[in-house]
Chains A and B, each alone.
Chain A
Amino acid sequence: MSGKRQLILATVLLIAALAAPAFVGNYWLRVLTTVFMFGVVAQGLNVIVGFAGYHAFGNSVFFGIGAYATGIGMTLGLPVWVAIPVAVAAAALIAAVLGWPFLRLRGHYFAIATVALNAAATEVIINIGGVTGGAQGLPLPFSSLPPTLLYRIIYFAMLATLVLATAIVFWLSRSRLGYALRALRDSESGAEVMGVDTVKAKILAWTISAAMTGSAGGLWAYWLTFIEVGTAFDISISVRGYIMMLLGGMGTVIGPVIGAALFQLVGDAIWSHFSGIHNLLLGALVMAVVLLVPQGVLDSLSRLRPPARRPRRAAEA
C-alpha cells in the first residue's frame, strides 16, 4: 500500500480512536486499550525485525523492564508521569548497553539470545528481591480516581504512545537510518561495503525498539497495578506482538497497528462466542493468515489495486 494511502488509513483510524470513548463502555475501552498496547509492542518489534531484520523474539524483556522500572519508581514515590519516562529511558539504556555484545550475533543466534535475556531478567528480578518484590510480585500505588475517568486517562495515554511510536516508524521509513537498516537487513556485509555504520544503526534500532516496548510495559503496570515476573516478562507478549506484526505487514508503517487491532478484536470476538474452543479457533486463524496472507493484510489490500502499481511496492519494501 502506498505511503499516501497508509496515511489516509492512519488518519481515519486515529479519528475513530479519539471518538471511541464517547460511544463505548468501560469493557470495550479496556479492549481497545489492549489493542493500542499490543500495537506499541508490535511497532517496537517492527523497528528491529521489520526494518533491521533482527528477530528479537525475547523483546518482552523490555516490556518487563518498563513495567518494573515504573513500579519501582512509583513505589519510591515518583508520580506516574515521571516514573514512566524514567522507565522508558531505563529500557532504552539497557538495550543500548546490551546491544554491543548481542547485536554481534546474527540470525537464529540473536533470536535465541534475546529469549535467554528475557529468562535471565526474570531470575535477576526474583533474586534482587527488596524493591522489586522478588517472587512475591510488586503492587503499585492504587489510584483513587473513579474507574471511568482513570480508564479514559490510560486509554488516551496508550493511544498517544501508539501514535508516537507510529510517527517514529513513519520517520524511520524515510530517514537515513531507515535506509541503513533496510540495507543491512538485505545484506549486512553489503551495507558495510556501502559505508553504512551497521553497528551504530543496529544499536539505535534496538534502543528505539526497547523504548517503545518499555513504554507499553510502563503504562501496563500502572493500569494493572500489580506486576509479577511471570506476567511482566511473559514471552507470549512478544509472540503476540510478532503475530500482529506479521498479520498487518512487517516493515510497513501502520501494518503492525492493523495487525494488533485485527488479532485482538477477532480474538475477543471468538472467545466471547466460542468459550472452550476459542484457543483452537484462534490457532487455526493464525495458521490461515500465515498460509494465505504471508506478507500481511496491508500487502493483500494493495494487491486488490491495479497491477501497474505493484512493481513500485516491491521496490519500496
Chain B
Amino acid sequence: MAGAWTRRIVLGCLAAIIAAPPLAAQETLKIGAAISLSGNFSREGGLLRDGYELWRERLNAGGGLKAGGKTYKVQIVYYDDESKAQTSAQLTEKLVSDDGASFVFGPYSSGIATATAVISERYRALTLAPMATANSLYARGYKYIFTPSPLADQGLVPILELAKGLTPAPKTVAIVGPDDLFPNITSDGARKRAESLGFTVAYTGKYPKGANDLSAVATQIKSVTPDIILATGYVQDSILLIKSLRELQVSPKLIGLATAVGVQDFRTALGPAAEGVMGVDYWVPTLTWKDPLFDDSAGFAKAFEAKYAKPPTFHAASGAAAGVVLQLAIEKAGTVDPTAVRNTLLSMQGETFYGPFKFDANGVNTLAGLNVSQIIGGQPKVIFPVAVKQADPIYPRTGQ
C-alpha cells in the first residue's frame, strides 16, 4: 500500500507541476477492473494490469482524457477476482453500483469475463475485454462488451492464409489438439477456413488435455501424410507433438501452432527440431500500426520497459490497446456517457499500436488479425502479414 501512496503523491506533485496554471477544474473518469491477481490466472492478470496501468499513467501524464471541452484524469479501481467467476460478478457489481465506475476493463480468460459481462451488461457499463476471446462470449447478444483482439476461432487462420500463397502449393491439412475449450474453438475455425480456401482436411484429431503420450496421434497423422500439420495445443503439448512426429519421421512441409513460437522454452526443448515451425502472436514489437499515445509498437515496448524493466508481453499490449480504443472513442464521442461512447465505437474505425479496429454489433473487432512468426536460424521472425514481415517464410520447412 505504501508504494501506491508514494506513487500517488509523486503523481500528484507531477500533475500539479505540469498543470501549473490550473485551467478548468479537472474531473475524474473512473474505470473499474476486477482482474485475477491471485489464483490460476494471477500471472496473466498481473500482466494485463501492467498494460492498463501504463495506458492510464501515460494518458494522465499527457494531461488526461479530453471530451466535450472537459478534461478527465483517469482513475482505475482494481480488485482481485481470485480467478473465480463468482467473485468477478460480485466485484463488478461493486465497481459499477458502489464505486461508480461507468467503464470496465475486463479480466483474463473468457470464463471469468462472462461473469463480468453479465453484470456490466445489466448496468450498461461499457466493457473492454482484450483477453477474453471465446467466440461464445460475443454470440450472446451483449451490447456493452468489446474486444480489440481476434477471437479464438481465428487462432490458426492466418497460417492457412499464408499457406495459400506458397509454392509448391500445399494440398492436405491435418488439425490436432487437446480436447479443451479454446483448442476446440480454434480447431473448428481452422477446419472451416481450410475448407473454404480449398485445402483438403485429411485428419482432425483430439487427445485428452494433459496427455503424456502422443505417439498414437502421430501414427494416425503419419498414415495420411499431410502437407500441413496444424496444432491447437499449448506450448507443452505442442513440444510433445513435434517430438513424437520426429520419432516417427513424419516431416510435413509446414507445421503451424496456435501458440507463440518465440517462447524460450519452446526453442530450448526442441533445439534444431524447432527450425521452420510457425506460430501465431497476438502482438509483436515490430508492428507498425500507429496511435496518438504510444506512436507504434516500438514506442509501446520502450515505454513498457522504462516503467517495468522487463519486456512487454501480448497480455500487456492488449490491455494498453484496450485503453487506447476507449480513449479514442471517448474523445470522438465528446462525452463519457457509456451508451453514447458505445454508439461511437460501433460507427468508428481506427488504429492503435496493437492493430486496426472496427467493431460489429456484437463487439467483435472485424479488423483484428494475428501475426505469424517462424523460427528461422534459431530466432522467431515475423513472416505474415506481409505489411509487417521481417523475413520471407522458409517453405517447405527444413527442420529435422
In the complex, what residue of chain B is closest to A127 when comparing beta carbons? B179
Of A25, A31, A137, A139, the residue contacting B90 (CB under 8 A) is A31
Residues of B within 8 A of A230 (CB): 111
> Hey, what's the 0/1 contact readout for B83-119 against A, CB within 8 Å counting as 1?
0111001100110011000000000000100110010
Within the complex, the shortest CB–CB distance from A130 to chain B, in Å, comes to 13
Residues of A within 8 A of B94 (CB): 27
Among A273-288, those with CB < 8 Å from B are 275-276, 278-279
Residues of A within 8 A of B115 (CB): 224, 226
In the complex, what residue of chain A is closest to B141 when comparing beta carbons? A142
Q: Any chain A CB within 8 A of the CB of B266?
A: no
Of B82, B97, B140, B179, the residue contacting A126 (CB under 8 A) is B179
> Hey, what's the 0/1 contact readout for A39-82 against B, CB within 8 Å counting as 1?
00000000000000000000000000000000000000000000
Provided the pairs A31-B90, A34-B86 are in contact, do residues A136 and B136 lie with their beta carbons within 8 angstroms? Answer: yes
A135 to B90, CA, bound (A): 24
Residues of A within 8 A of B90 (CB): 27, 30-31, 34
Decide: B38 and A279 in contact? CB cutoff 8 A: yes
In the complex, what residue of chain A is closest to B184 when comparing beta carbons? A135
Provided the pairs A26-B93, A137-B114, A224-B89 are in contact, do residues A231 and B84 lie with their beta carbons within 8 angstroms? Answer: yes
Of A26, A31, A137, A271, the residue contacting B181 (CB under 8 A) is A137
Q: Any chain A CB within 8 A of the CB of B134?
A: yes
A30 to B122, CA, bound (A): 14
Q: Any chain A CB within 8 A of the CB of B27?
A: no
Q: Any chain B CB within 8 A of the CB of A147?
A: yes
Q: Any chain B CB within 8 A of the CB of A225?
A: yes
Provided the pairs A224-B86, A231-B86, A276-B37 are in contact, do residues A142 and B184 lie with their beta carbons within 8 angstroms? Answer: no
Q: Main SS of the interface on chain B?
A: helix
Q: Any chain B CB within 8 A of the CB of A228?
A: yes
Question: How many residues of chain A get a CB closer than 8 Å to chain B's CBs?
Answer: 29
In the complex, what residue of chain B is closest to A135 when comparing beta carbons? B181
Among B118-155, those with CB < 8 Å from A are 118, 121-123, 134, 136, 140-141
Q: Any chain A CB within 8 A of the CB of B180?
A: yes
Contact surface of A with B, Cβ cutoff 8 Å: 25-27, 30-31, 34, 126, 134-137, 139, 142, 146-147, 150, 220, 224-226, 228, 230-231, 234, 271, 275-276, 278-279
Contact surface of B with A, Cβ cutoff 8 Å: 1, 37-38, 78-80, 82, 84-86, 89-90, 93-94, 97-98, 111, 114-115, 118, 121-123, 134, 136, 140-141, 179-181, 184-185
| 5 interchain residue pairs of minimum CB distance | A226-B114, A147-B122, A135-B181, A27-B94, A26-B97
Query: Please, could you name 30 A-B residue pairs with CB atoms under 8 Å apart, sorted by A?
Result: A26-B97, A27-B97, A27-B98, A30-B89, A30-B93, A135-B181, A136-B134, A136-B181, A137-B111, A137-B114, A142-B121, A142-B141, A146-B122, A147-B123, A220-B86, A224-B89, A224-B115, A224-B118, A225-B118, A226-B85, A228-B111, A231-B84, A231-B85, A271-B79, A271-B80, A275-B37, A276-B1, A276-B80, A278-B80, A279-B38
